[in-house]
Structure 1
């Protein structure tokens, strides 16, 4: 396994809609090219930032196809295939494998509270459906399920399980998962607010929902950590957190705000799908300020 291709900054890819709110191949291409030119190492397609929970199975397949059509061979491609049913998850996994994705990932089952035995069976059936490597997605604040180190150990008995995207807030979880898996496992930092802390605590890379709004800043934060410039990394993380707080303080969804930032950068990927809310008229000036914050941080840290 070539772990290097999974290291670095991997933005969670946004849902790209046309003006009627349909999945758009042209706009997927535009976003992919934008991120490629920024120098990110890969993209995570079809996850939370991709609004997957609001898409039909066919739409999810289309989103995976469009991203692969334009980015395969340019960067690492990870397909999120978690769905409410095991059947749909397996269908998405097989589709991603046919498209040439580098790895799969999936949240645990949602809605019903299931025992570890059911969660293990769900993930195992997805893993066994294709020859692709698999990355567990731990995000208890939205799924209601917390991955334990004991279940992680059981999953690691399958050679195709190469890591975990850990989006729980305690950085201790990153340290525990890294200690459990050691050098044979890739731990991805999930919460963007703790990227630097997560990297220092053992995360090998990052997958994040706000990376696309400010890829330059996360690329630089990662370089600071790699170079041992922890004071600079700490200061930059503080500015990143100010930006994230501002994005989360909009009337509309954070993702709607990010998409408006991108639109003003020349990358129009539409808005968000309901029940997520689009930006309001009051959000315009706030987004102006967010863009200024991003640009000033780039000028300070990315010279």
Structure 2
């Protein structure tokens, strides 16, 4: 099976709210159009950047529908369907399958500390619920669960499991998962701060939460890596990291800051949902500087 459609730069799709904080179809479509115009390879819908933990099941289903309405057949669509219960995850999975998504993905169960046997059953239940391919999501810093290579190997016995979105920080994890999975498995680099390093350690592609703020830079970083131009890849990663540090150094949450960056690009997708914090008046001045940093880096690398 060819995994080519999963290669490239795949932004994690942001939650799009109206001025009252409700899911907005129009603003979701606006973000779809923006990312399509940037020529990214796909979108990862309903994950951390989509604020899935703070949305109802019906809201999450609506977002999946709005994105599919706009982008199905135009780029690769991956639906994150991880939810607090197996039942809700299966419902989201079936909804995404009916909409024509290319693949499913899910974090492990959260809150309760569960053994590998329970995590295996959870992921397997989602996998078995639809004909779609499945991508494991490993993000131990937020879920408290670390995917082991032994469980990964066991899950790969199911042919619908095509890879892992690895957001743990050690790049060694990417190398280990790629060694277990081999060429028939796709490993996505998760931490944006180490995109280039992750690719050099074996990641085939990237899914990231800051890609939407600066898609041109990640697309160019991907080009440098594919060309073997590692010196320029190192330089662009350094500039990306300067921007990420700035995005994370404001009083508002990183996602609120990113949404204001997009707002200044003419893409209005609202703020964030509580308990995430929105931007402050003090952040407004700094965000202007972040926009300038992105513009200057785009000018420098993306000619």
- The interval holding the TM-score normalised by the smaller chain is over 0.9
Distance (whole Å) between structure 2 residues aligned to residue 116 and residue 155 of structure 1: 11
User: TM-score, structure 1 length as denominator?
Assistant: 1.00
Instruction: Give a deviation string over 1:45-71, Cα, whole Å, max 9, x none.
Output: 000000000000000000101000101
Q: Secondary structure at the match of 1:64?
A: helix
Distance (whole Å) between structure 2 residues aligned to residue 73 and residue 258 of structure 1: 27
Paired residue for 2:256? Answer: 256
Distance (whole Å) between structure 1 residues aligned to residue 250 and residue 98 of structure 2: 39
Structure 2: 5+ residue stretches without partners:
none
Paired residue for 2:107? Answer: 107
Paired residue for 1:140? Answer: 140
Instruction: Give a deviation string over 1:238-263, Cα, whole Å, max 9, x none.
Output: 00000000000010000000000000
Q: Which of structure 1's runs of 4+ aligned residues deviate more than 3 A?
A: none
RMSD: 0.4
Distance (whole Å) between structure 2 residues aligned to residue 220 and residue 146 of structure 1: 31
Structure 1: 5+ residue stretches without partners:
none
Task: Write out aligned runs for 1:71-220 (5 A).
Answer: 71-220=71-220
Paired residue for 1:9? Answer: 9
1:2 CA drift (Å) = 2.6
Distance (whole Å) between structure 1 residues aligned to residue 64 and residue 21 of structure 2: 17
Instruction: Give a deviation string over 1:160-207, Cα, whole Å, max 9, x none.
Output: 000000000000000000000000000000000000000010000000
User: TM-score, structure 2 length as denominator?
Assistant: 1.00
1:155 CA drift (Å) = 0.1
Distance (whole Å) between structure 2 residues aligned to residue 29 and residue 74 of structure 1: 13
Distance (whole Å) between structure 1 residues aligned to residue 233 and residue 296 of structure 2: 16
Q: Secondary structure at the match of 1:282?
A: helix
User: What number of residue pairs does the alignment pair up?
Assistant: 303
